[in-house]
A and B are shown apart, each in its own frame.
Chain A
Amino acid sequence: MNFITYNYRKLLHLFFILALVCSANPARAQRLHIIVGGPNFRPFPIAAPKIASVGKSSSTREAAELTEIIQQDVDLARSLELVPPSSYLVATNDTWQNPRYQNWVNVGASALIRGIVEKVGKNIKVSLKLYDVISQREILNKVYQDKPTKTAYISHQFIDAVIMLLTGEEGIYSSKIAYIKNTRKAKALYNCDADGRNPKRITDSDVLNLLPAWDPTGRFILFTSYLKGNPDLYRFDRSNNSMQVISSQRGLNTGAKVSPDGKHIALTLSIDGNTEIYVMDTNGKNLRRLTDSWGQDVSPTWSPDGRRIAFVSSRSGNPHLYIMNADGSEVRRLTFQGNYNQEPNWSPRAGGQIVFTARDERLKFDIFIVHPETGEITRLTQDDGDNESPSFSPDGHQIVFISTRAPGSSRKLMIMDADGKNQRRVSFDLAEYEMPAWGPRLGYQ
């Protein structure tokens, strides 16, 4: 016992010295960076109690909205974890300026978000703070003034600032997701915020639209439309809400993806009857054919460095994933398991993996991820309806996809972490959703 006590003291002494060394280094003392997705990664637990409404004219509705959206944004973010609000121990002397830190430590929080909202003329003024409850100090202080309808954008901006402070990486809340939504008469192109809010219809015609894809700047959304009867490739310009034909070859003009440098489009055409993969400049000129096989070659997706393209081919009988150089050379088969692999989407992170949909032996669709060099496959969804059409978030930490899991078994928009954890629904209306494409960061609007 004495021996143990002695060693324990020595250890304590060592820790004390370490603590001194660490606090002598200002950069180290300032904050603890968490490496998202690292081997010891655990989401950062944050408490987000009710935002208070202050001032004479009432802003209780905005305060309630902000509370809800901030809690959802913390919950959805890959690097953060929402400490369950039902567990909060709020003392009567716990105020916006002066949190009782121990009560937040006691519910497992490492940080605390506090905020007040007040009416200023026709606008709302929202003050939000982030406190480190371990070192007991304020580490972020932001004030936003905007229209009362902009509560989501205020929350998105603040949570992205929190993520930047804690991880050194940009968040996802300035990005949008494009998708196809089944209306009564058409399949229309829409986009929404990264959390499913603010859905906006883009195409107003009552025709079939499919397979949206963003260009890296976020200005354009490419998609295929039957507007003129043939599946032609169109480009929607978000800067002036105009639509432009990019490719209208005979047959299919589908599955277009813009290269990471924004200069080229890879797409599937069926000019001579068989579907093959082509590449062209973004204005539709300089068309070059990349594949030449008797099978179907479809669904190209660019590697993050733009030097390679993964695609689906049935040249070996069943649809499987293949990889080639961006000029069509050095084609190699990537997947050997399964007999129906499709819809590849390459992570935007350097060295990132390729997520895809596979049909298993029970004819159920599920989402898998494959390493582009080793070919090692990991399953991300299982026993939960059909899961399809995965697309990576701009930071590569999360994946948006379509699932038919309950309730109602209709196709809903879902988001999960890139390792398959935290699968959650982000579309809540009754409509059917298809083919989501997670776009780049666009700024808050």
Chain B
Amino acid sequence: MAGGTQNHGRSMSEINVTPLVDVMLVLLIIFMVTAPLIQQGVAVDLPKTHAPSLDIKADRVVLTITREQKIFLGEVEIPYAQLRAKVSNNIKLKADREIYLHADRALPYGFVVDVMAIMKDAGVETLGMVTDPVSVVKP
């Protein structure tokens, strides 16, 4: 085979991208969806918006975070400590790459971003923020 030793002795010339990957939320696409179509279990006090929003797709996974910082995937509560392990092998998240975030309006921003980062690592690229429409302006 030609060039069998081509990788030896070459200096590292690429930019180290690891710190950039850490700023992962930059790559997360976020949009807003209306709440009334959410059928799955847990009740939370949603943020209220006037912003235009999209209709929800019924087959997507809904991630709920309550005011007490309890996390639910669908209707099943997952302790925060187990969340990463639980979603890292989820083949639906990897296939859909989309999830709906259904979180209480009173939650600390830092906690929500933390959960979003875990979802991003599990393969989610698009995140629908579920909101309560005050008066929805249809596009």
Q: A residues within 8 Å of B by Cβ?
A: 1, 45, 83-84, 86-87, 89-91, 100, 102-103, 105-108, 361-362
B56 sits at the interface (CB 8 A): no
**Contacting A84 at CB < 8 Å: which of B73, B91, B95?**
B91
Distance in Å: Cβ of A101 to nearest Cβ of chain B: 10
Distance in Å: Cβ of B82 to nearest Cβ of chain A: 10
- A-B interface, 3 closest residue pairs, ranked by CB to CB distance from nearest: A108-B92, A108-B91, A84-B89
The distance in angstroms between the C-alpha atoms of A362 and B139, with both chains bound, is 63
- Complex: chain B residue closest to A4, CB-CB: B139
Contact call A108/B90, Cβ cutoff below 8 A: yes
Contact call A89/B92, Cβ cutoff below 8 A: no
B46 sits at the interface (CB 8 A): no
Chain A residues lying within 8 Å of B90, measured Cβ to Cβ, are: 84, 87, 106-108
Highest count of chain A CB atoms <10 Å: which of B1, B75, B86: B75
Chain B residues lying within 8 Å of A102, measured Cβ to Cβ, are: 40, 74-75
The distance in angstroms between the C-alpha atoms of A131 and B121, with both chains bound, is 30
Chain A residues lying within 8 Å of B87, measured Cβ to Cβ, are: 87
The distance in angstroms between the C-alpha atoms of A332 and B86, with both chains bound, is 57
Q: A102-B40, A105-B59 are in contact. Are A89 and B91 (CB under 8 A)?
A: no
Chain B residues lying within 8 Å of A106, measured Cβ to Cβ, are: 61, 73-74, 90, 92
Q: A45-B91, A105-B92, A108-B91 are in contact. Are A89 and B74 (CB under 8 A)?
A: yes
Chain B residues lying within 8 Å of A103, measured Cβ to Cβ, are: 74-76
Interface residues of B in 65-124 (CB under 8 A from A): 73-76, 78, 85-95
Contact call A107/B92, Cβ cutoff below 8 A: yes
The distance in angstroms between the C-alpha atoms of A102 and B85, with both chains bound, is 20
Q: Classify the secondary structure of A's interface with B.
A: loop
Chain A residues lying within 8 Å of B92, measured Cβ to Cβ, are: 105-108
Q: How many A-B residue pairs have CB under 8 A?
A: 49
**Contacting A91 at CB < 8 Å: which of B61, B75, B85?**
B75
Chain A residues lying within 8 Å of B76, measured Cβ to Cβ, are: 89-91, 103
Contact call B73/A89, Cβ cutoff below 8 A: yes
**Contact residues on B (Cβ < 8 Å of other chain), bracket:** 20 to 34
The distance in angstroms between the C-alpha atoms of A106 and B61, with both chains bound, is 6
The distance in angstroms between the C-alpha atoms of A89 and B40, with both chains bound, is 14
**Contacting B78 at CB < 8 Å: which of A83, A89, A361?**
A89
Distance in Å: Cβ of A30 to nearest Cβ of chain B: 22
- Complex: chain B residue closest to A134, CB-CB: B59
Contact call A100/B85, Cβ cutoff below 8 A: no
Chain B residues lying within 8 Å of A362, measured Cβ to Cβ, are: 1
The distance in angstroms between the C-alpha atoms of A353 and B93, with both chains bound, is 37
Contact call B139/A108, Cβ cutoff below 8 A: no
**Contacting B86 at CB < 8 Å: which of A1, A89, A105?**
A89
- Can you name 6 A-B residue pairings with CB atoms under 8 Å? A83-B91, A84-B90, A86-B89, A91-B75, A103-B76, A107-B91
Chain B residues lying within 8 Å of A90, measured Cβ to Cβ, are: 76
Chain B residues lying within 8 Å of A100, measured Cβ to Cβ, are: 75
The distance in angstroms between the C-alpha atoms of A108 and B74, with both chains bound, is 13
- Complex: chain B residue closest to A90, CB-CB: B76
**Contacting A86 at CB < 8 Å: which of B1, B86, B93, B94?**
B86
Contact call B95/A108, Cβ cutoff below 8 A: yes
Highest count of chain A CB atoms <10 Å: which of B61, B85, B90, B93: B90
- Complex: chain A residue closest to B59, CB-CB: A105
The distance in angstroms between the C-alpha atoms of A96 and B95, with both chains bound, is 28
Contact call A87/B91, Cβ cutoff below 8 A: yes
Chain A residues lying within 8 Å of B78, measured Cβ to Cβ, are: 89
The distance in angstroms between the C-alpha atoms of A121 and B95, with both chains bound, is 47
The distance in angstroms between the C-alpha atoms of A386 and B88, with both chains bound, is 33
Chain A residues lying within 8 Å of B73, measured Cβ to Cβ, are: 89, 106
- Complex: chain A residue closest to B95, CB-CB: A108
The distance in angstroms between the C-alpha atoms of A267 and B95, with both chains bound, is 50
Distance in Å: Cβ of B87 to nearest Cβ of chain A: 7
Chain A residues lying within 8 Å of B139, measured Cβ to Cβ, are: 1
The distance in angstroms between the C-alpha atoms of A260 and B89, with both chains bound, is 44
- Complex: chain B residue closest to A42, CB-CB: B95
Highest count of chain B CB atoms <10 Å: which of A1, A45, A106: A106
- Complex: chain A residue closest to B87, CB-CB: A87
Distance in Å: Cβ of B83 to nearest Cβ of chain A: 11
- Complex: chain A residue closest to B94, CB-CB: A108
The distance in angstroms between the C-alpha atoms of A105 and B96, with both chains bound, is 12
Highest count of chain B CB atoms <10 Å: which of A86, A90, A362: A86
The distance in angstroms between the C-alpha atoms of A100 and B76, with both chains bound, is 10
- Complex: chain B residue closest to A2, CB-CB: B139
